A and B are shown apart, each in its own frame.
Chain A
Amino acid sequence: MSWHTDDADLREYAAGALAPPRLWSVETHLAACADCRTALGSHVPPAATDLGWARLDAALDAPRPGPVESLLIRFGVADHTARLLAATPLLRGSWLGAVVLTLALAVVVALNASPLMLLATAPLLPLAGVAVSFGPGLDPMYETAVVAPMHTFRLLMVRTVAVLATTTALSALASLALPSLGLAALGWLLPALALTSTGVALTARLGPVLAPALVGGAWAALVALSRLLASGTPLPFTAEGQGGAAAVAVVATVLLVAARDRFDSGALPGPSFRSSRTLRSAARRLS
């Protein structure tokens, strides 16, 4: 380098007082000249250098939001809530793949045999999704979450919303494969809300394994019986059935809110501590 930036310019640059076009000239020169960068260091207070390094360090190693998190933040969700939502187990690994595969199979059967398969399967997905996303059995961080001061009920609600939003969007996409049904192709929506809210409300009393298993079993039995005992549209997908599902969803939500403190107590019934470790290791193999 045949020339160097003079001291006065370096001092002004360090103070942020240098104006274009000299600023551009000095900046370009500094990028290529180690001697001038060293000389610049003598004009910057050590504390300011340290602060600059700390800010650079923070910018480099701070966790970068993933695609789901970035999307949520773009829609105005607070960054900490977005992180809680994005960490929902159902949204990670092969769980989501399992949901997509289940819906794809249901659509294939619906197209070739009966649309009932999709209508009956879709409500079970958010129910199962919440079960795998919360509780000592399958959430690897359940123990950490339950002793944290943030209300466990809030975490449960955050995850339930994440699961419902995801499975509803995917099931709605699947419903597009049945255009001949018109709006009836969305007959799974209210039962999905009813099953999920009932499953979560019962979790407070029966635990995160038994409650969704019972609710899912009851739904399967109801659909099968309706199909066997009457011809035409099965009861859950008639206007009366849809009204009933809406009522169940409302009642279950009220009961859930009333039981919210039970989720925070650490006294959630369910699999024992030892068997939950076994369940967790099975879940790890799936993820």
Chain B
Amino acid sequence: MTRPTVSAAGLTLSYRGTRAVDEVTLRLTEGVTGLLGPNGAGKTTLLRILATATVPDNGAFTVLGHDPSTVTGRQDARRVLGYLPQNPGFHPDFTAFEFVDYVAILKELTDRRTRHAEARRVLDAVGLADVRGKRIRKLSGGMKQRVALAAALVGDPGFLVLDEPTVGLDPEQRMRFRELIAEAGEGRTVLLSTHQTEDVAMLCHRVVVMDKGRVRFDGTPAELTAVADGRVWRSTERQPGARAGWRTGTGEFRNVGDPPEGARLVEPTLEDGYLLALGGDPVTEVAV
């Protein structure tokens, strides 16, 4: 068993009477873990807890051995984590270099030469060496996301929290971003929140599915796909009993759910497994 780098037990946080995160228990290891779930599933709240941006009502967690429930533990945890929020904010007049430099100051890099060298390193790592002197407001959406990722990478953190970094990016930018996340996942723990099952299929060694604040699935992408084994079929007519069904390019319907007798079963995808994992009670719990 791989030793966990980030452990959480019973994390719970309520907003206005609703449990945004409800008794979440997780153990993350080195590599990229995908966090899938619909809007309002509690993904961002969970990420904000693990990034120490907010405090849970109940439960505990550790980041690379540091306990953020104490003042010193929280500072130590923050020294080893990088966080890319869902909507990273920028001072509008900053250049890419100035923004990363500013974040480096917040990360306690006070020596000017060391700080500037680190800013260059992370901007080079995300492929923005050529635009580091450009104002952020003049950069494209994909470039802004890369600047935010560069800021998260300052100080070479051991735990990287990425909240939907590929949302709003065009396919080429998304592909480029996947390369960066894959590189970032080498030798560190990355928790990647996403709506895109392709992100998980291409990047993650493990996937956690959340819905209504609870963990519905925790396992490998192959295990999530296997949830839909024998539960995806084709038909010529719409199937009212299917949990989801749509007409494909061939004119046939592709259905996910509980198939009728004699149904023409087809190979499931990760998305099929995700869809089934969201419904009802937890489909499976895989110990790490």
Partner-B contacts on A (CB < 8 A): 58, 61-63, 78-80, 83-84, 87, 89, 92-93, 139-151, 155, 261, 264-267, 272-273, 277, 280, 284, 287
Contact = CB atoms under 8 A, between A and B. Distances in A.
Interface of B: 15-16, 44-45, 48, 51-55, 71, 74-75, 78-79, 81, 83, 85, 87-95, 97-98, 101-103, 105-108, 110, 112, 115-116, 120, 132-133, 151
B78 A148 contact: yes
Given A145-B106, A155-B106, A267 B85 contact: no
A72 B56 CA distance: 40
B132 A141 contact: no
Contacts of A63: 95, 97-98, 101
21 contacts: A61-B133, A62-B116, A63-B95, A63-B97, A63-B98, A87-B94, A92-B91, A140-B90, A141-B91, A143-B53, A146-B53, A147-B51, A148-B78, A148-B106, A148-B107, A155-B106, A264-B74, A264-B75, A267-B54, A267-B55, A273-B44
A144 B108 contact: no
Contact of A266 (B54, B115, B133): B54
B81 A80 contact: no
Contacts of A87: 91, 94, 102
A78 B51 CA distance: 29
Main secondary structure on B side of the interface with A: mixed
Contacts of B98: 63
Contacts of A155: 106
B55 A266 contact: yes
A63 B87 CA distance: 25
B88 A147 contact: no
Given A84-B105, A150-B105, A144 B44 contact: no
A272 B48 CA distance: 13
A149 B116 contact: no
A89 B89 CA distance: 12
Given A63-B101, A150-B108, A141 B54 contact: no
Contact of A277 (B45, B87, B103): B87
